[in-house]
Amino acid sequence: MAAPEPLTTLSDALRAAIARLADAGVPDPEVDGELLAAFVLGTGRGGVQAAAIRGDVLSPDDAARLTDFVTRRATREPLQHIVGLAPFRHLELRVGPGVFVPRPETEMVAQLAIDALRAAASDSPVAVDLGTGSGAIALAMATEVPHARVFAAENSVDAFVWTKENFARVGAENAQLAFVDLAHAFPDLDGTVSVVASNPPYVPDAAIPRDPEVRFFDPPAALYGGEDGLDVVRILSGVGLRLAHPGGTIVIEHGEWQGEAIRGILRADGWRAASTHPDLTMRDRATTAIRP
């Protein structure tokens, strides 16, 4: 009679996973290892840590699933693609191939838009998110400023599949989604919008993103913005002037070295009070301006 296979403890499996992810250059191997184990076990990261301390044993199926997920993550496939979800502020958004994975730095961009929307002198202010991708900024505005009306535009077929799913998942009745070219979005809202927000593609065409998760898995249409990275920003400036009412705000995410150039674009188009804002790491990541 064959001897039974030795049982795998969660703590042993985690040590092996973390070592493999570290060898693959994953930036936070311990965090990712624990999050993958949490996904397998249907619990949170704290639950995984508690189970490891208790000496819990993995079932053969769970051990095999964890090994498979760690193998995928070691290829630098984004963690969010593997688990199918990306946290964003208080939301969990469905993501996968074809849509840009929302980043923590975009939460600050959403905060700028939310603050401007809350300050709008209207009982029912209007906001627009151009190039909404997963819907992160639009759905954050809609759920955190429930008296606002939020309109989101996306023009990528691959991304729109995920956007629709997230709008249905969140179920914000004050948010509307449209598949439309950004340059011609929402003409019926011209002159009525309090906040125009966007996280556009802003990587220069010749630049190569450092992280494999970005370089190989994020859709190029969500990354590259022309020779200087600002082609879409130039479109946004004009569209924002069309949409915004006097005193309305535009909020644009960008690379940390692009603030000065974007302020110049906005000022040349007639926006006022252009200002660039740092994220929590003190890198300039968003620029705002006011429509005269």
For residue range 194-252, list pLDDT tens digits in order: 999 999 999 999 888 888 999 988 888 888 999 999 999 999 999 999 999 999 999 99
In terms of CATH architecture, what is 8-75? Answer: Orthogonal Bundle (1.10)
Supply φ then ψ for residue 171, to 5 degrees.
Answer: 70, 30
Q: How far apart, in Å, are the Cα atoms of 173 and each of 132, 151, 169, 170?
A: 17, 11, 11, 9
Q: How far apart, in Å, are the Cα atoms of 112 and each of 116, 172, 251, 275?
A: 6, 20, 7, 12
- Confidence band (pLDDT; 50, 70, 90) for 3? very low
CB 202 within 8 Å of CB 229: yes
Three-state DSSP class for residue 35: helix
**Domain topology for 86-290:** Rossmann fold (3.40.50)
**Tokens for 17?**
């996973």
The residue written with tokens 């909020």 in the block is 251
pLDDT of residue 166: 98
**Best CA proximity match to 197, nearest among 145, 264, 270, 268:** 145
17-22 average pLDDT score:
96
Domain ranges of the chain: 8-75, 86-290
Max Cα-Cα span within the chain: 84
Catalytic positions: 100, 199-200
Q: Burial-class residue 181 by CB neighbours within 10 Å (0-12, 13-18, 19+).
A: exposed
Sorted by sequence, the CB contacts under 8 Å of residue 210 that are 6+ apart come out as none
CB 140 within 8 Å of CB 102: no
- Provide the whole-model pTM: 0.91
The mean predicted confidence, pLDDT, of the chain is 94
**Tokens for 248?**
């309305």
81, containing H or E segment:
helix 79-83
